Amino acid sequence: MDISKLSPEELAKVESIKSQIDVADSQSILTYGVGVQREISTFSDNILNEVRTKDSGYVGTILTDMVYKIKDLNVDGLGNSNFMSKIPFIGGLWDSVKKFMVGYEKLSVQIDKIIDELDSARMQMLRDITLMDAMYGKNLDYLRNLDLYIAAGQQKIKELESTVLVEIKAKADETKDPEDVQKYNDFVQFLNRFDKKLYDLKLSRMISIQTAPQIRLIQNGDQALVEKIQSSILNTIPLWKNQIVIAITLFRQKKSLELQKEVTKTTNDLLEKNKILVG
């Protein structure tokens, strides 16, 4: 850890953590930083549960179903005539627009239900996105705490190696007393175990570092789905309805022009017949 990058507040915390390390207590190494490690372990479980219980695939299914339903209503076929419409007298009763609108209204009900489902899913994913922001911040806090414990541990080892270890070794070399030699060996073992503990904390730190992009990956997936849902609700559906309006309007204009032509033709035919009768 680069101590120079720590803020004054963080340096104060490092000193506080370092002061609590009891060289005389052999159990202090076992419990050093365990609280933060346990928090990270629990946090990883929470992330796993979030992924396991999340089922965003159904949103894609709903969107696909909506697309197929929209395509089922053939807007281009609105003006296509059929056999019944060509039969005299009956053809006038065969209203293509009304028939088309019946199909549209049935489909519109289904589309509205799909929109409700999509909107509900959108709201849930928006909550999930907010939750992921909170989880990202919490993971960052865990990472910073680990950094402080690692920094405090590294400083403590350096201090002990340059002071206590030197003194114990010098005394053991001087007296050759088995008790002094054992104290030196015990202290060396203590420092070795402490160094291994710091390595264990660094592994937990790596887990925390790897968790950050995982959180963002989940969050980005939710954001992409929310964007697709909003685009469908705000763009696709209105465009589809607008196409329906345009198609019906053009169809009615076409029929009006055909009717005008037919009336003009009938009027001209009657005029010709009248000329022949008068002549």
At 40, the pLDDT band (50, 70, 90 cuts) reads: confident
Question: Between these two residues, 125 and 53, which has the higher pLDDT value?
Answer: 125
Two tokens at 30?
């076992």
Answering whether pTM is above 0.85, one says no
Residues 105-128 have pLDDT tens digits of: 777 787 888 888 888 888 888 888
Residues 224-234 have pLDDT tens digits of: 888 988 888 88
| DSSP characters over 121-161 | HHHHHHHHHHHHHHHHHHHHHHHHHHHHHHHHHHHHHHHHH
Would you say 187 and 164 are in contact if contact means Cβ atoms under 8 Å apart?
A: yes
Of 106, 193, 194, residue with least CA distance to 152: 194
Would you say 59 and 224 are in contact if contact means Cβ atoms under 8 Å apart?
A: no
What integer pLDDT is reported at residue 82 of this predicted model?
46
Q: Which CATH number fits domain 3-253: 3.30.43, 2.50.20, 1.20.120, 1.10.287?
A: 1.10.287
Listed ranges 33-42, 103-112, 165-174, 205-214; the one with the highest mean pLDDT: 165-174
